[in-house]
Amino acid sequence: MAPPITPVAPDARTRAARQGLHRGETRSALLYLVPAGVVLVGLLAYPLYQLVVISLYDYGQPQAAGAAPLVFLGFENYVSLLGDPRFWDVLAATVLFAAVCVGGSLLVGTALAVLATRASPWARKLLFLAALGAWATPAMAGSYVWLFLFDQDFGLVNEVLSTLGLAVDGHSWTFGRFSAFGLVAGEIIWCSFPFVMVTMYAGISAIPREVVEAAALDGASATRTATSVLLPILRPLIAIATVQSTIWDFKVFTQIYVMTNGGGVAGQNLVLNVFAYQEAFAGQRYGLGAAIGVVMTVLLMLITVVYLRIRR
Amino acid sequence: MRFRHACATVLVVTVVAACAPPQADNTGDQGGGETTGELTVWLFQEASNGPKEAVVDRAVAEFEQAHEGVTVNVEYLPVDGRAPRFNGAFNDPASAPDVAEFGNTDLAGYAASNGFADLTADLDAWDEGADLVPDVLDTATIDDKVYGVPWFTGTRALYYRTDVFTELGLEPPATLAELTETARAIRAAKPDLYGIAVGGKYLFALLPYVWAHGGDIAERDGDAWSATIDSPAARAGFARYAELITPDICPPAQCAQLTGSQSVAAFAGGKAAMTIGGDFNRAAVDEGAVKGKYGVVPLPGTTDGQIAPAFAGGNLLGVLRSSDRRQLGWEFVRLLGGKDYQRAMYDAMGTMPTFTDVQDGIAGDDEFLVPFIETVQAGTRFVPATPAWTQIDAQAVLPTALQQVATGELDVNTATSAAAAEMDAAFAG
């Protein structure tokens, strides 16, 4: 087979023209980006740089106060972190916990979004009001409200369950590892499903009615329409909601810290963010804490890369 | 592209190697000598702060009267949020106070940060200084340097419900083994009550158990510390305490997470027949359902007639090293921490003074304090006076071990061995 002939000249010309146009645009684009760039460098790049620097030193409270000399450790903080079985246990717990929270919020959010498209206007308004209420509740307040609901002595949940004849008198929901994680996951799903619901509702509403009608005319069943027509259209939205929820739930701090009293019985409910806090600020080992921060940043950046790929 | 990557890498490596994390300068002279201006004082916010404020306001008025051109600005800090505030003050001397109240368990860490001024010479020259209880003054001392005046001390003893004990025909326990039996018998007779309210996060109840059995959590050898929580004696005490957090005394589901104040709150609320509480918990207990229905005895030791060594808690008043008004600050510490105002603090807050003669003066009038003063006089102990303790405490090494035993996850030997390894890692730095 002969190689395809490439029309060199016109292509080169257009490319040159495009580049000329491009260069001018690039300059003004850069100019427009300067203010944002300055803010980003000051508020993001510099702290991130300091984080990396601190993670390479033996940097505790005496060092910060200038009472002890700085010792450059290189990657020793990372070595001891990655060699600590507790870190891997916490990392695994964080990943699983985030996965459950993401899955839960997606399921609940999507189901309610579908419900909202079919409900009557007033029911839809009520649903949105309730969802936005949960969304607007500060994490701290939400965590305490859930704790009160599930309090072992005075909680509404135990009271209702015991009137139903279940032997839950004085049952502690935060004692067992899975029970405590489950309770916190419930709270997180409760306060993060509204984002998924609003996103999915917007997506479903934007699907042209003609498409669904066409599918119906072709004799597709409701299930078939959902899986072969609606789902593919919604896929980018689902992907974005998944990645955003993943980033949020991976970084969860408040709910775990408040609801399990700083990490649960014998540290069984620690997640990476709370673990970093305990090591860095409570234990005053800023160097090791910074190393955990860097590891978390890298993991989240990987997720962000996936997010950007999907958006493209 | 490859070249640019290489450049970036080289740049990053150079920048990282050239720069170091920021450090404050706390190595200069100890404070300046300004004698006028504003003296900033940090004190802790108590649960009911009114009476404390009244005493402090009186001292401030007296001080301002005596020092012309001086104003004293008192700020009350929540105890829970103290670490970031103090660390911030050490890292940025411009935002530091001149005088501060602080817990004696925090001292080793603060001293390692060069946070507080050495007051040894000032204390020697102070006529009242000689009457401070030696054990308590030890809690203000690191490497023979005194960093604060003990403002008040706190020890713990055994609170018990007199009505329950009378009804069941029980006597306050005379040994720690008997305490377990008594607690078990009470819960068996009254399943609504915890035999004793103690918790997995109640370190200062665990420590007397370890000490009473002849053990300790760590041992000092020169400048080095090593964990001894895995020694046979310490393990015996640890096990004796851990056996209280069992379903037939204080069920793990409820008690594994309890802290000291939560344990006392359970007792005050009428949910427990005994607890280990401090003299400073009196107000909290009297506000609860058990007012007038409880007594206090020293926590017993392993044999009849013995008192378990108590932890010598308490707060100190010190002058910050970065202060521009060191002398003025010391004079204020001497006034507020002196005998007159310690007595006033006892009258207002019920806190136990740190001067022998002031203690003796109130023991005659106040029967409640007798078991606590007996406990103090029997000898008190302290946590390892090293900055590593801050880390061990923050990582909840001992509470974690207790909770692991209480939940049945690990046995005493495994849990204490793991705790000892973690403590040794912290001591090694």
> pLDDT of A97-135, one tens digit each?
999 999 999 999 999 998 998 889 999 999 999 999 999
Q: Do B394 and A282 touch (CB under 8 A)?
A: yes
ipTM associated with this complex: 0.73
Residue in chain B lying closest to A290 (CA)? B21
Q: Are B148 and B316 in contact (CB under 8 A)?
A: yes
- Position B191 scores a pLDDT of 93
**Residue of chain B whose alpha carbon sits nearest to that of A80:** B425
Helices (H) then strands (E): counts for chain B: 20, 14
Taking CA–CA distances from B402, the nearest residue in chain A reads: A266
Which chain B residue has its CA at the smallest distance from A281's CA? Answer: B84
What are the backbone angles phi and psi of residue A247, rounded to the nearest 5°? -60, -45
Tell me the sheet residues that pair with B116. B320
- β pairing state of B380-381 and A57-58: unpaired
Residue A166 tokens read as 């279940």
Of B172 and A61, the one with more pLDDT: B172
User: Which of B26, B113, B407 is closest, CB to CB, to A265?
Assistant: B407
Domain boundaries A92-279, corresponding CATH code? 1.10.3720.10
Average of pLDDT values for B72-84? 87
Closest Cα of chain A to B5: distance in Å? 18
Any idea where the domains of chain A sit in the sequence? Answer: 92-279
Which of B360, B351, B354 lies closest to B52 in space, CA to CA? B351
The whole-number pLDDT of residue A21 equals 58
Spatial contact of B20 and A57, defined as CB atoms under 8 Å apart:
yes
Region(s) of chain B under CATH 3.40.190.10: 37-154+312-381, 156-311+395-428
Portion of chain B with pLDDT greater than 90, in percent: 59
Least-confidence region, from A258-262, B19-23, B144-148, B289-293: B19-23
> Looking at chain B, how many residues does it have?
429
* pLDDT band at B159; cut points 50, 70, 90: very high
A71: contact with B, CB 8 A cutoff? no
Measure B283 CA to nearest chain A CA, in Å: 24
pLDDT for residue A174: 85
Residues above pLDDT 70, as percent of chain B = 93
Q: Nearest CA to A98 among A239, A255, A203, A234?
A: A255
Residue range B49-65: mean pLDDT, rounded: 92
| Single-letter amino acid code for the residue at B339 | K
A265 contacts on B by Cβ (under 8 Å): 200, 256-257, 403, 407
**Is A63 within 8 Å of chain B by CB?**
yes
Residues composing chain A:
312
Query: Does B404 sit within 8 Å of A65, measured CB to CB?
Result: no
The torsion angles phi and psi of B85, rounded to 5 degrees, stand at: -65, -45
Any A CB within 8 A of B15 CB: yes
User: What pLDDT shows up at residue A190?
Assistant: 95
| CATH match for B37-154+312-381 among 3.10.520.10, 3.40.190.10, 3.30.470.20, 1.10.40.30 | 3.40.190.10
Q: How far is B393 from chain A (nearest CA, A)?
A: 8
A252 touches chain B (CB under 8 A): no
* Dist CA A231 CA A223 (whole Å): 10
Instruction: Work out whether strand B294-297 and strand B156-161 pair parallel, antiparallel, or are unpaired.
Output: antiparallel
What tokens does A293 get?
A: 């921060």
Q: Which residue of A has its CA nearest to B192?
A: A170
Question: Per-residue pLDDT averaged across B275-299, rounded?
Answer: 90
Distance CA B342, CA B68 (A): 25
Q: Does B411 lie at the interface with A, CB-CB under 8 angstroms?
A: no
Segments of chain A scoring below 70 in pLDDT: 1-22, 167-169, 311-312
Q: B156: which 2 tokens?
A: 């713990």
Pairing of strands A71-72, A57-58: antiparallel
- In terms of average pLDDT, the best of A113-117, B54-58, B130-134, B361-365 is B54-58
Q: List pLDDT tens digits, range B389-420.
A: 888 888 889 999 999 999 998 999 999 999 99
Chain A residues 88-147 within an 8 A CB cutoff of chain B: none
pLDDT of residue B32: 60
Taking the Cβ of residue A87 and every Cβ of chain B, the question of whether any pair is shorter than 8 Å is answered with: no
Identify which has the larger pLDDT, B276 or A166: B276
Name the token pair of A107. Answer: 């399921």
Question: For residue A93, what pLDDT is reported?
Answer: 95
pLDDT digits (tens, 9 = 90+) for B204-227: 999 999 999 999 999 999 889 999
The packing angle between helices A177-206 and A231-250, to 10°, is 140
> What average pLDDT does this structure show over B282-297?
90
Tell me the pLDDT tens digit for each residue of B93-121: 888 999 999 999 889 889 888 899 999 99
pLDDT at A10: 46
More confident residue, B23 or B73: B73
CA distance B130 to chain A (A): 31
Nearest to A266 among B87, B115, B404 (CB): B404
- Tell me whether residue A129 is exposed, middle or buried, using C-beta atoms within 10 angstroms of its C-beta: 0 to 12, 13 to 18, 19 or more: exposed
Q: How would CATH label the architecture of B156-311+395-428? A: 3-Layer(aba) Sandwich (3.40)
- Find the helix or strand (DSSP H, E) in which B26 lies: none
Output the pLDDT for position B241. Answer: 97
The answer to whether A261 faces chain B, any CB pair under 8 Å, is yes
